[in-house]
Amino acid sequence: MLWSLLSAEVANQNPVLLHGTTAAYFIAILLFILGIKMMSSPATARKGIHWAGLGMLLAVITAFVHIYFLGQSDPQLFLKLGLMVLMILIGTAIGWYSSLKVPMTDMPQMVALFNGMGGGAAAVIGYLDLLHGHGPVSLKVLAAAAVIIGATSFSGSIGAFLKLQRWISSRPITYPGQQLVNALLFLGSIVLGYLSIAGPTALNVNLFILLPLLLGILMTLPIGGADMPVVISLFNALTGLAVAFDGFALQNYTLIISGTIVGASGTLLTILMARAMNRSLFNILFGAFGKVQKGGEEEEKVMKEMSIDDAASILAFADKVIIVPGFGMAAAQAQHKVKELMEELEKRGVEVKFAIHPVAGRMPGHMNVLLAEADIPYDKLYDLEDINPEFETADVALIIGANDVVNPSAEWDEGSPIYGMPILQAYKAKNVFAVKRGRGRGFAGIDNPLFYLDKTYMLFGDAQKVVSDLVQALKKL
């Protein structure tokens, strides 16, 4: 329908409407670009979300005005518009409720779900265009590409959500011939896509959208939880690509440009995060990283525990403390207590800095978002390259719920699965305090020799309680 509305024939019938629509979409596109640009900095990210949201609102209103004026001869026009408004209100209510009720610890799951919805919407648009559209073959090819990519992104994002929510195992789930099955599903999608273009019927178009839905789920199963940040970013890029293809198929420039921007930014972020782990995207998708290995005997090791009072005493008389946040801090919602600890240390003249690893947490920028929520100044957050040289001069590296991103096996053990991955070099600090809920391994399932060093001391317990106890102990000194 939108394709026909934007065709040259309609443009000739109502040039004023066309020019007005084009101008409104152009402004919406500028707002999208401005919003995404501002989201690249923590200091302006909130404003960027507002500007991008304003652009989306303008695009939606413009689409409604366009459809209303060009569809007045349709006797079911108001029914269709009413259903569209109803769906928008339902979606808005779900989004608004989720933003208020979903805790920050579950934000990665929500991002995965919402991204999946975008991919699903793109797949449905392509599906309907194949089933009912009458455009040229070249545009139908783009619609078919949108179906494959969008449906894969939708079901893959659902799979990521299930793993992050721990409704299915976060460990890699593999079975014999897995890659062959995925390859056959992809080839089957291509064949059915060709059939849907050449002679669309309800049967082959329905089968066409089902295969990539299954492919997306099966692609996610062998990916371990530690790789979820990269996977979420990848599916975000795929969603943007699917939207751009829909835009070409429908000749809608807003979809083309916004989809391209999202696809490009998601692709760049995926590449950067893969580099941050020193692994290829192929290895992340097909390497089953984090799969539990059975057999063999491990040397018995001991983690040394330290009392809260002793840890507080050392922190109080330190010159520099570097705090390394991880998902354990997020799970305990301890970011506000961490800010209290920072303020209490700074009252005593202690220099406090935060070390942020690119893949810490469960989604890109997870730690930055949590610390920003606690109003911790942006200038205290340092990236891996900037903070690593300072660990040698730090009296204490305080690790709060981080594990894999500080694992020195990445530098010491050539046989480790994470060997070569850039890490935060907390092991170089004079003392290492690790706040950890238990004695288990990290999300990647790999043992961490940092926790057994002579200078490392464990503070076992829930991160929020441990940090709160540290603050109280500091106040008593």
| Residues annotated catalytic, as ranges | 404
* Residues counted in the chain: 477
Q: What are the residues whose beta carbons fall under 8 Å from the beta carbon of 373, sequence distance 6 or more?
A: 104, 335
Question: In this structure, what DSSP letter does residue 390 have?
Answer: G
Chain CA centroid to CA 155, Å: 15
Buried b (16+ CB within 10 A) or exposed e, 61-91: ebbeebbeebeeeeeeeeeeeeeeeeeeeee
Q: Which residue has the tokens 């305080």?
A: 398
Give which of 330, 333, 350 is closest to 342, Cα–Cα.
350
Question: In this structure, what DSSP letter does residue 170 have?
Answer: S
| Structure token pair of residue 159 | 């799979």
3-state DSSP assignment of residue 324: strand
CA distance 125 to 256: 14
| Structure token pair of residue 140 | 């139908």
Check: CB of residue 260 under 8 Å from CB of residue 244: yes
Give which of 408, 391, 402 is closest to 435, Cα–Cα.
402
CA distance 126 to 477: 66
Q: Where are the alpha helices (DSSP H) in 333-462?
A: 335-347, 366-373, 384-387, 409-412
Amino acid at 372: A
